[in-house]
Amino acid sequence: MSQSSNSMSLEDTVRKGPNAVEEFMAYVVAKNPGQPEFHQAVREVVESIMPVVQANPAYRKAKILERMVEPERVIMFRVPWVDDRGEIQINRGYRVQMNSAIGPYKGGLRFHPTVTLSVLKFLAFEQVFKNSLTTLPMGGAKGGSDFDPKGKSDGEVMRFCQAFMTELARHIGPDIDVPAGDIGVGGREIGFLFGQYKKMTARFCGVLTGKGIQYGGSVMRPEATGYGAVYFAQEMLAQRGEGIRGKTAAVSGSGNVAQYTVQKLLQLGAKPITLSDSGGTIVDEAGIDEEKLAWVMELKEVRRGRISEYAERFKTAKYYPGKKPWWVKCDLAFPSATQNEIDGEDAKMLVANGCHCVCEGANMPTTPEGVRVFLEAKICYGPGKAANAGGVAVSGLEMNQNSGCMRRSRDEVDHQLQNIMKSIHENCVRYGKVGDWVNYVQGANVAGFIKVADAMLAQGVV
């Protein structure tokens, strides 16, 4: 907790809390009209940290919260490129550099038609707290474009990435801002982006993470977010005296995070039974085993196909078009696709069906109504900023590896990832324990906030 004096009684804090939240949110909404995802992310954090802010006059006087919701810099740019038919296409590119109080900006790039300034501001805001929780010195940022890589040829994706980097290169650097992947940005895209940066600057440096192993990437970066989420679930369950072995798990998405979540679940003896994409969900009651997972990885990464094909290939599975996985009976749920994919009704169904651990691989996959259901039911609910921090943590190790011109082994990275997830869990318990239950939302927000807020206080009004 900060050194700042604590002059307000708990009673004051409780009495003023809800009003202070509503007043602050009115200010945020008025200043950022038409940005619902950003409002949602800010509210979720502010509801947890307002008592801490109110109890610390130094935070209030320095307007820490008001400064935190204002990005340090937003870059928005035109991305013109030429498609395979010779036609000019125009997309919009962004980089939101949210907060650099504890380190250079760090956060992924998302290429998806749903990308807007609001979505990227929510992601950048979340990233500030997540990066703080990792214990590594990284500020928060996020970027991307409304470009849709689906259905595009490799040549089109390359030309788009080159055009995107042509502008972005001016604003990033190994000590300034180090982007990585996110939805629609995997190894292929990072390779094209890195190539263009190198060509423009004539420098080979750690300007992006998620790079291929041959050119400075870290082992286990692709696995890190999914593995980390399962390690976090393991910690939450251990807190209740339970393990993962033998548990049935529902996983959404079928991209990077979902694939490696399934892989780690299998290694730890659980039974994953679902995967999805924006078209629908497959349910495989027999379980998704190693062989089926290898097939999914090839489907998604090489053939870039749809999850519906799984049910054609494996007769134990059924495809449900337009459906999400949350109605299936499961012990554990790993939302690993996108924001707001579990609403209040989905959350009620999960709890009613016996799910008692929800661990978010995706960012903000649960709506506020859904979060309320999980908190009221007092299940193990690990919010994304804690549960999916393994990806950025291993990115931090990759940065450190690049600047020190060194290489870590798979065992070393896995060991560090497990330690980081354990320490994030401990921090959440420290600030979120309520009797014999842990409110991980409260724990993650408060732990992430204090470190950044104290660094901002120390650095003056900048």
Return d(Cα 108, Cα 183) in angstroms, integer. Answer: 9
3-state class (DSSP) for residue 142: strand
CB of 245 to ligand NDP, least distance (A): 25
CB of 251 to ligand NDP, least distance (A): 10
| Smaller CB separation from ligand NDP, 51 or 255 | 255
Tokens 């296409």 map to which residue? 89
| Smaller CB separation from ligand NDP, 331 or 360 | 360
Return d(Cα 434, Cα 411) in angstroms, integer. Answer: 35
User: Would residue 287 be called left, alpha or beta, if left means φ above 0 and alpha means ψ between -120 and 50 degrees?
Assistant: left
| Smaller CB separation from ligand NDP, 133 or 258 | 258
- Residue whose C-beta lies closest to ligand NDP: 255
Structure tokens, 148: 């849709």
3-state class (DSSP) for residue 176: coil
| Smaller CB separation from ligand NDP, 184 or 383 | 184
| Smaller CB separation from ligand NDP, 120 or 330 | 120
Is the alpha carbon torsion for 258, 263, 269, 273 positive or negative? positive
CB of 4 to ligand NDP, least distance (A): 32
- C-alpha 195: how far from chain center: 25
The answer to whether 298 touches 292, Cβ cutoff 8 Å, is no
CB of 379 to ligand NDP, least distance (A): 21
CB of 337 to ligand NDP, least distance (A): 3
Residues at the contact surface with ligand NDP, assessed by CB under 6 A: 114, 181-184, 186, 225, 253-258, 277-279, 336-338, 361-363, 388, 391
- Classify residue 269 by burial, with Cβ atoms within 10 Å: 0-12, 13-18, 19+: exposed
From 142, 152, 247, 324, active-site residue: 142
The answer to whether 99 touches 74, Cβ cutoff 8 Å, is no
CB of 278 to ligand NDP, least distance (A): 3
Which residues 6+ apart lie within 8 Å of 153 measured at CB? 84
Return d(Cα 427, Cα 398) in angstroms, integer. Answer: 23
Question: How far is it between the farthest Cα atoms of the chain?
Answer: 68
Per the annotation, the verdict on 31 as an active-site residue is no
DSSP letters for 391-417: HHHHHHHHHHHHHTT----HHHHHHHH
CB of 44 to ligand NDP, least distance (A): 15
CB of 454 to ligand NDP, least distance (A): 25
| Total H helices, total E strands in the chain | 17, 15
The answer to whether 420 touches 393, Cβ cutoff 8 Å, is yes
The answer to whether 77 touches 147, Cβ cutoff 8 Å, is no
| Smaller CB separation from ligand NDP, 100 or 254 | 254
The answer to whether 183 touches 338, Cβ cutoff 8 Å, is yes
The answer to whether 144 touches 69, Cβ cutoff 8 Å, is no
| Smaller CB separation from ligand NDP, 388 or 445 | 388
| Smaller CB separation from ligand NDP, 52 or 258 | 258
Active-site positions read: 142
